[in-house]
Amino acid sequence: MGAAVDLQKVCKVYNKIPVVNDLSFTIEPGEIFGLLGPNGAGKSTTIRMLTTLTRPSSGEISVAGYDAVRQSLQVKNHIGVVLQQTSVDIDLSVWENMEFHGRLHHISNPQRQHRINQWLDYVGLTEKRDALVKTLSGGMKRRLQIARALLHQPDILFLDEPTVGLDPQTRRRLWEIILDLNKQGMTILLTTHYMEEVEYLCDRIGIMDGGKLISLGTLQQLRQQHGEGLVVKQKEESWEYKFFPNLEAANLYLEQQPDKTGLMVRPSNLEDIFVELTGHQLD
Ligand SMILES: Nc1ncnc2c1ncn2[C@@H]1O[C@H](COP(=O)(O)OP(=O)(O)OP(=O)(O)O)[C@@H](O)[C@H]1O
């Protein structure tokens, strides 16, 4: 089987401004891939192109082996999508929302009933099946979006900032659902600006800033590339970071400093790497 997702030199231009710029990367089947970046980095635009909601200005995108522009219908049949603004109809019940999506995908009646029951049970919404969506909490709505996205049995699930605005406990619950789906074989691409989300969930991480992919790899690879040891220097209100290949090298540097005031050695983490690469913090 080929790549689950493949982007080659993809650009998206709005009003002559490239908001996604020369983006190339591949996601293998069975991976959880995280796109990390600050607001405006181009993550949502990338997900919108991958899910055929908007066309690239240039470049090639293949999803589940199909061309995202020329074979968008086939792509849609193989993907589940949970976007930030994904519309669940708040005036319909949980069941009706699922039913509507199942009909859109031409899932036969007995199969539809079976799968709706199965996925509502999976995300813990069986008891809410007749509740109007407007009465659900944010976390429940997100779980409904996920159940709905899974109804037509996609191979790849796209999640745009799946846990934004959710409390820590609800976030954890969604993380467990995402990990479990992946264990069942689902390929997952998610965007986020939460460091701990990528650290906990993702096999590989792509860091985006200003429409560009500025780093790509496993957390371990990113740490190795940028330096696993860190010397932090506190300077009044600010902090200065100096990367070293490993902790030993960082410690050696520290020992050699005549004045060690405000200096500290620790292992680098994703946030340090992000700040080093982009020059700014995530929220
Ligand atoms: N339809 C559009 N027309 C014009 N500009 C757009 C459009 N959609 C997005 N943009 C711009 O493209 C840039 C990237 O936006 P995008 O939503 O992809 O970033 P993001 O990384 O997902 O950020 P966020 O975390 O805020 O969603 C932003 O500057 C945004 O204003």
Q: Could you report the per-residue pLDDT of 137-159, keeping only the tens digit for each?
A: 988 999 999 999 999 999 999 99
Q: Are residues 253 and 149 in the same domain?
A: no
Mutate to test the pocket of ligand 1, among 20, 35, 45, 190 (most ligand atoms within 8 A of CB): 45
Q: Could you report the per-residue pLDDT of 17-61, keeping only the tens digit for each?
A: 999 999 999 999 999 999 998 888 999 999 999 999 999 999 999
Phi, psi angle pair for 123, to nearest 5°: -90, 5
Domain range enclosing 241: 228-267
Please tell me if the CB atom of residue 42 comes closer than 6 angstroms to any atom of ligand 1. Answer: yes
Q: Are 77 and 86 in contact (CB under 8 A)?
A: no
User: What percent of the chain shows pLDDT beyond 90?
Assistant: 78
d(CA 197, CA 219): 12
Give the residue among 139, 185, 133, 186 at the shortest CA–CA distance from 158.
186
188 Cα: distance to centroid of ligand 1 (angstroms) = 21
**What is the per-residue pLDDT for 159?**
95
CA angle at 123 for the pair 109 and 155, rounded to the nearest 5°? 65
Amino acid residing at 149: A
d(CA 110, CA 108): 6
Give the residue among 191, 157, 195, 149 at the shortest CA–CA distance from 45.
191
Encoded tokens for 81: 């999508």
Q: Are residues 129 and 263 in the same domain?
A: no
What is the residue with the minimal CA distance to atom 16 of ligand 1? Answer: 42
User: What percent of the chain shows pLDDT beyond 70?
Assistant: 98
Please tell me if the CB atom of residue 41 comes closer than 6 angstroms to any atom of ligand 1. Answer: yes
Phi, psi angle pair for 60, to nearest 5°: -120, 135
Residue 273 lies in a domain: no
Residue 280 lies in a domain: no
Q: Are residues 186 and 242 in the same domain?
A: no
> Model pTM greater than 0.95?
no
Give the residue among 252, 199, 240, 201 at the shortest CA–CA distance from 223.
199
d(CA 34, CA 12): 20
State ipTM.
Answer: 0.94
What is the residue with the minimal CA distance to atom 8 of ligand 1? Answer: 45
Mean pLDDT of the chain: 92
Mutate to test the pocket of ligand 1, among 16, 17, 44, 198 (most ligand atoms within 8 A of CB): 44
Q: Are residues 263 and 164 in the same domain?
A: no
Q: Could you report the per-residue pLDDT of 5-23, keeping only the tens digit for each?
A: 999 999 999 999 999 999 9
Q: Are 261 and 232 in contact (CB under 8 A)?
A: no
**What is the per-residue pLDDT for 38?**
84
**What is the per-residue pLDDT for 280?**
72
Q: Are residues 179 and 238 in the same domain?
A: no
Please tell me if the CB atom of residue 192 comes closer than 6 angstroms to any atom of ligand 1. Answer: no
Burial letters for 209-224: b for 16+ Cβ neighbours within 10 Å, e otherwise? Answer: bebebebbeebeebbe
Q: Are 276 and 226 in contact (CB under 8 A)?
A: yes
Phi, psi angle pair for 279, to nearest 5°: 80, 5
Please tell me if the CB atom of residue 206 comes closer than 6 angstroms to any atom of ligand 1. Answer: no
Residue 272 lies in a domain: no
Q: Are residues 20 and 132 in the same domain?
A: yes
**What is the per-residue pLDDT for 1?**
64
Residue 282 lies in a domain: no
Please tell me if the CB atom of residue 85 comes closer than 6 angstroms to any atom of ligand 1. Answer: no
Q: Are residues 55 and 97 in the same domain?
A: yes
Interval 102-111 mean pLDDT: 93
91 Cα: distance to centroid of ligand 1 (angstroms) = 29
Q: Are residues 214 and 235 in the same domain?
A: no
**Of 183 and 282, more confident:** 183
pLDDT category, 167, cuts 50, 70, 90?
confident
CB neighbours (10 Å) of residue 201? 23
DSSP assignment, residue 41? Answer: S
Which CATH number covers residue 82?
A: 3.40.50.300
pLDDT category, 283, cuts 50, 70, 90?
low
DSSP 162-224: TTTT--HHHHHHHHHHHHHHHHTT-EEEEEES-HHHHHHH-SEEEEEETTEEEEEE-HHHHHH
Q: Give the atom of ligand 1 at the shortest distance from the alpha carbon of 15.
A: 4
**Cβ-proximal residues to 72 (8 Å cutoff; 6+ apart), any chain:** 52
Q: Could you report the per-residue pLDDT of 268-277, keeping only the tens digit for each?
A: 999 899 888 8
Please tell me if the CB atom of residue 50 comes closer than 6 angstroms to any atom of ligand 1. Answer: no
Please tell me if the CB atom of residue 39 comes closer than 6 angstroms to any atom of ligand 1. Answer: yes
Residue 68 C-alpha from the chain's centroid: 19
Q: Are residues 106 and 71 in the same domain?
A: yes
Residue 11 lies in a domain: yes
Domain count, the chain: 2
